Structure 1
Amino acid sequence: MLQQILRDLYVTPEILTELDEVQKQSLFCKMREEQVRRWRVWDDECSKTPKNVITAPVKQKKKKSVSFMKGVDGEPWVWVMGEHEDDMSIGQIIQQEAIEKARQLAECEAEALRQQLIECITPNCEEDIYCSVDALQKKQIKPPTPAIVKSNYKIGHYQHQSNKYNVIDTNNVLNELNQRNATKMVAAKVAQWERRLTEERTCEILQNIQSKQLQAAKEAEEAEMKHEQLWKEQERKAKEAEQQIREIARKAREEHRLTTRNCETEPAYSSVVPGVPPGKQAVVDWFQKSEIPKRAGLDQLDQIQPYFHGLISRAEAECLLQNQPIGAFLVRLSEKLWGYAISYKTKDKCKHYLVSAANNYSFLGSNQVEHKSLGDLINYYKDCPLTGGEKLIQPCSRDDDSAVRELFAGKIG
């Protein structure tokens, strides 16, 4: 069994439960020594390089580097947004961006209106817009009937509703230009009118953008509240599901305890695992074929030893030793390895020692004394202490011999 553990470097949890602390430490030391030995063998194999093999030089990749701009103090120059007195806050930056966007949109609208005004006043000559009023009168250009120049400007969901700048009367424009200053160029008046339009439209578009921002912030807040409520609901459902799972697990454990209160059965192991019995029947067959001929569990008169209890579980052994004095022990067949288990009553609890019967009889672990028979091992530890310092003092007698006698059926008289 020890060779199997060292080969696989793995110990099953069932075997660990049967070992005391000293046995665990010695077993782990052995496993660690085996790991170190394997590593040294691997290192020696890697260090052996064939003489005929010439390794090509490895090209070194150019390492990428990053350089930082230095300040007056020689340290990397760092600028943290918002720390300088001239830095704008995030709100001011957003406000400035909104104003710039509104200004650009207003300029685009004014440019479109100016082009429509040019087409309305001088449909055949674009340069007439830059002539004086007298020149326009000398050319006797009959202004069109009040031309309605409609502009369809949509900024998001906003539609400019007033006819203040959407409807332009060219006669009124010409009359206004004649009344104020007939000597000035029409282009200057158009530019002044365009600037006034741009300023007012900028304010209107900015108000529209700000209202949209407020609406978006309100919608985001409402969405966050809905998300928070959804998250709380999911958390509540998750807690309820977890509570249901715990309740199901608790009921399953309770049913398991009720069904195994009188007779606790240990799990069977697959026959694929080497060194581990596949089941109880395999343990019984092994004992009858291999151990009874070796007089395991029998005395010199072919009588069953009082300490031998056959195939019982760990829980049953602890139950039998519960009312026994300190030093009481019993021997039982183990389902975790091809061998036995010695259950011993101490002051505080019951200890269990695994006995391997692969070749000779010895405790599981390293540097253990081997014995030719199970009886020799029991007699040896009656005089010599176990790993915990205890001695096998008093055998725990059986209340019912029927199960043990059935185990020896046909083999004893």
Structure 2
Amino acid sequence: MLQQILREMYIEPDLLDELSEDQKQILFCKMREEQVRRWKVREEEEENKPPEKTKKSFKHGKGSNKKQTSFLKGSDGKDWVWVMGEHKDDKSIEQILEEEAQERAIKQAEKEAEELRRKEEMELKKALQEEEKLAENNKDKEAENKRKEDEAEMIKSLKEAHIAVQKREKDKKSVKKRHHEDEKMKSLKKIDEIKTRRSSEIYFHWKQNRNTLQKDAEKSSQILEEEWREQEKRVKETERKMREIARRAREEHRKSLSGSVKVIGAANAFKSYIHKKGPAPPIPEGRPSKAPKDKSAEENEHHPLPPRPRNRNSVIKWFRKYEVPKATGLDPQTKKPAQWFHGLIGRAEAEGLLKEKKAGTFLVRVSERIWGYTISYRSEDRCKHFLIDKSDDNYHFFGSNQLEHTTLNDMITYHSHTPISTEEELLKHPCGQQVDPPDYCDLFHDGRSESTTL
């Protein structure tokens, strides 16, 4: 860790706070030594760089490199000449040779003495250098041992400080995690309490409604049974009177021919009696009703819609036959197509219309996948599409247990203040037409007959 700190020349503040003052001073000295070492290395690199070659220019002049010799002049103005041995003070050749030999001997002795002295000095200097080197090595070893001990102590302190920092962070994380778990447990407990209380309330209301419905059913059953018995009693009395009248008519017919008139009068009297008594008794439960069927229902039974549209033309025929009479897609006030209403456009085209719009913008298009419509909605990050099922008499989102609406306009108005999803998405801004003619023209205008089935 110390090597990493010296390499980066940086220590984290939290780790520095864990060190004592002595450790901080040692660390400062180590960092200072590292700075000096780097400076020396850089200086040596600068010194070891080869010198740049410089071009020298030489000027060559006439007689600039030639040596000149001049001679001494005598009193006569001519070159002075000395002939050895001609003067009285001149030494003989033997004397000169002897003197030169003595001088050479003296110089040789001095040279040998100098060499000996120099050799002794070199040996002494070498010995001193070896002693100094040995002392320096011992000193360096001691310094190295001390440095290693300091580094070991520093590393130990840094490790302890690092462990302390990690432990402190771990304690913080554990405390935070424990607090989060406690909050989560409280939230789950609160949700369980709410669910339990709400389920109890729902069960209590369901039980009350069930008891009320059961009582109402028993009461209505008793009333219906009493009415049925009363009707049955009246019918039996009527049948008895009819049999009595028929018996009397037969007896009178046997007596005379004029009795036929009486029989006819009795029959007329019976008819008037039945007319005065009121309508026939109600049909008991379990029997099928023979009420006349609605004409549109009969048409739907003869021509039921397939599970899904076959093609685009079948959707257009369905819309003109069933939706145009209901004024679907029209504004209730202006009786013109609503601003949000679009025709048979695809998913990609709807997303293109909503691409540059703000969040909350929507349009309603006729679907080719089901008998119904699709709401294309622009949210914060993308476009969403919601299917509206119209396979029955109401309008609701595709799926089960959905809220039903009488008209498409009611559904759009309802979701302008009630979100269509759990993300608080409201139908705020209708997206109008951007092409001319509008894309819904083929839904409302066609000159051909529509007698063919869907």
TM-score norm. by structure 1 comes to 0.33
Q: Which has the higher helix share?
A: 2
**Greater relative CO, 1 or 2 (CA 8 Å, sep 6+):** 1
